[in-house]
């Protein structure tokens, strides 16, 4: 049973921050080093200083590092009135309006706290594996600052639209936050403070199954932090604030969601492995070669939703674009195909067997044309292009208990970080 509750969010003070678009960012894990510097320059109160602080040679392990500086920024901004904590518990309705392939789309959901549950309880379902390094980083930030700086993105099923109808009444009013980001996406936030409406919404969410769409590392980090505190202080009462984490909840409707593929780039490979790759792939894959990338991408586009295990591939090889289709296609659903790419091709055929080699040499991008350019420039040896998943495939794979390689899915648009924060205290009051 999912326990959803309102909370007193921490938001930027509009009297101090006139243009909120200057202080918000995408989630930390999609920000490049170049973008990090850009956000630092953009505004002295940009949330980047909290979620992804700069590191310096003079940093120390305990007293002076990016985590301690993040805590200082947060506390100082609260004292200076840059941040304000709401006086009443709220649920925050969040809408993103954007154009995708010429069509206007809206994603509407709400931000609240959810009681943390182990995955084995089958209240919250993951679909992707997590890596130890990002979890360690987020845990250090959580320990030091004691805040949820960005919402985990989750999905639930509400075919009768009961929850959507509650939110629909709210979004008719003027929003508390209204901004357009760098990608021309419109973001709006409304506060629900009416106790009757909040209780009704939370009640309707009780029997929902929650699927994590984006933010697996943050959810597992919050779980680890909760267990860590309870282990140290076993006498603490139940239902304290660290029992919960901030989450965005969106109805699992096709028309609202856009899921993009995340392509793979491999940076370092033995020449022998690369030279023998086509020969080895031919044992299990039908290989078609094209001279134009447009033909490859057109073929991949036509394969969407057909339950065909196929990948695009490009290596700097006289403009040859490869379509790899599994000969014995016995794998369902489509999302399982990322296992084949990672386990069979990347680890077995290309030799990225150790965890160190795997993490060091594997990069990601959702821009297929950028991937080709990077290979041409010699920054990467090879690129693999994936098909996008459907929401049904994500749901089906999650309930089986299988977790897929990191960044199997890319939900678009990303939720902005800095719109609402949750300050973790011993009491929920």
pLDDT tens-digit readout, 216-238: 999 999 999 998 888 877 666 66
Rounded to 10 degrees, what is the CA torsion of 411, 415, 417, 420? -140
User: What pLDDT score does 368 carry?
Assistant: 92
- Alpha carbons 194 and 192: distance in angstroms, whole number: 6
Rounded to 10 degrees, what is the CA torsion of 118, 122, 128, 134? -10
Categorize the per-residue pLDDT at 133 as very low, low, confident or very high, splitting at 50, 70 and 90: confident
Q: Summarize the confidence of residues 13-23 as an average pLDDT.
A: 96
Q: Summarize the confidence of residues 8-34 as an average pLDDT.
A: 95
Q: Above pLDDT 90, what percent of the chain?
A: 59
- Give the DSSP letter of residue 387: P
Does the model's pTM come out above 0.75? Answer: yes
Q: Which long-range contacts (CB under 8 A, 24 or more apart) does 71-76 make?
A: 71/144, 71/145, 73/49, 74/50, 74/145, 74/147
Could you tell me which of 303, 313, 243 has the C-alpha nearest to residue 280?
Answer: 313
User: What pLDDT score does 272 carry?
Assistant: 82
- Alpha carbons 40 and 293: distance in angstroms, whole number: 37
Bridge partners of 210, per DSSP, are 124
Categorize the per-residue pLDDT at 132 as very low, low, confident or very high, splitting at 50, 70 and 90: confident
- Which CATH number applies to 262-387? 3.30.1760
Q: Above pLDDT 70, what percent of the chain?
A: 95
CA atoms within 13 A on the CB side of 87: 0
pLDDT in tens, 158-174: 988 999 999 988 888 89
User: What pLDDT score does 334 carry?
Assistant: 45
H-helix or E-strand containing 264?
strand 263-266
> How many Å is the Cα radius of gyration of the chain?
23
DSSP H helical segments within 117-270, as ranges? 132-145, 162-170, 195-205, 216-232
Bridge partners of 92, per DSSP, are 111, 191
User: What pLDDT score does 220 carry?
Assistant: 95
Pairing of strands 4-5, 147-148: unpaired
DSSP 166-180: HHHHHTTSPPSEEEE
Assess whether pLDDT exceeds 90 at residue 420. Answer: yes
User: What pLDDT score does 332 carry?
Assistant: 47
Tokens 């938001």, located at residue:
11
Q: Summarize the confidence of residues 327-353 as an average pLDDT.
A: 72
Assess whether pLDDT exceeds 70 at residue 329. Answer: no
Q: At what angle do helices 293-303 and 368-376 cross, to 10 degrees?
A: 140
For residue 297, give Cα distances in angstroms to 302, 312, 366, 382, 385. Answer: 9, 8, 13, 16, 9
Q: Summarize the confidence of residues 391-420 as an average pLDDT.
A: 83
pLDDT in tens, 27-74: 998 898 999 999 999 999 999 999 999 999 999 998 999 999 999 999
- Domain parsing of the chain, residue ranges: 4-258+413-423, 262-387
Assess whether pLDDT exceeds 70 at residue 335. Answer: no
User: What pLDDT score does 338 carry?
Assistant: 79
Categorize the per-residue pLDDT at 333 as very low, low, confident or very high, splitting at 50, 70 and 90: very low
């Amino acid at each position: 049973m999912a326990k959803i509750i309102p909370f007193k969010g921490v938001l930027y003070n509009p009297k101090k921050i006139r243009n909120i678009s200057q202080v918000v960012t995408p989630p930390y894990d999609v920000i490049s080093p170049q973008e990090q510097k850009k956000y630092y320059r953009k505004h002295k109160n940009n949330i980047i200083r909290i979620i992804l602080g700069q590191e310096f040679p003079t940093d120390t392990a305990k007293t002076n590092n990016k985590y301690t500086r993040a805590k200082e920024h947060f506390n100082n901004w609260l004292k200076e009135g840059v941040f304000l904590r709401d006086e009443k518990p709220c649920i925050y309705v969040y809408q993103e309006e954007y154009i995708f392939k010429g069509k206007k789309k809206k994603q509407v959901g709400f931000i609240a706290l959810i009681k943390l549950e182990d995955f084995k309880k089958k209240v919250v379902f993951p679909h992707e594996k997590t890596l130890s390094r990002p979890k360690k980083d987020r845990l250090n930030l959580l320990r030091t600052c004691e805040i949820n700086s960005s919402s985990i993105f989750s999905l639930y099923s509400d075919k009768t639209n009961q929850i959507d109808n509650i939110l629909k009444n709210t979004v008719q009013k003027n929003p508390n936050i209204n901004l357009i980001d760098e990608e021309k996406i419109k973001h709006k936030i409304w506060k629900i403070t009416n106790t009757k409406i909040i209780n009704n919404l939370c009640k309707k969410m009780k029997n929902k199954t929650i699927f994590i769409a984006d933010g697996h590392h943050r959810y597992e980090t919050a779980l680890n932090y909760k267990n860590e505190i309870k282990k140290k202080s076993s006498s603490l009462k139940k239902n304290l604030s660290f029992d919960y984490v901030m989450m965005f909840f969106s109805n699992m409707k096709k028309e609202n969601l856009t899921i993009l593929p995340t392509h793979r780039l491999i940076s370092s490979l033995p020449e022998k492995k690369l030279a023998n790759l086509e020969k080895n792939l031919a044992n299990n894959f039908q290989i078609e070669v094209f001279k134009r990338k447009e033909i490859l991408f057109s073929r991949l586009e036509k394969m969407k939703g057909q339950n065909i295990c196929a990948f695009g591939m490009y290596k700097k090889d006289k403009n040859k674009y490869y379509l790899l289709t599994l000969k014995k296609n016995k794998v369902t659903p489509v999302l399982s195909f990322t296992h084949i790419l990672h386990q069979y091709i990347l680890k077995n055929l290309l030799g990225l067997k150790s965890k160190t080699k795997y993490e060091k040499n594997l990069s990601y991008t959702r821009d297929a044309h950028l991937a080709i350019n990077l290979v041409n420039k010699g920054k990467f040896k090879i690129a693999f292009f994936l098909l996008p998943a459907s929401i049904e495939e994500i749901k089906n794979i999650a309930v089986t208990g299988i977790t897929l390689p990191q960044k199997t899915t890319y939900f678009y648009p990303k939720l902005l970080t800095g719109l609402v924060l949750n300050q973790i205290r011993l009491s929920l009051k």
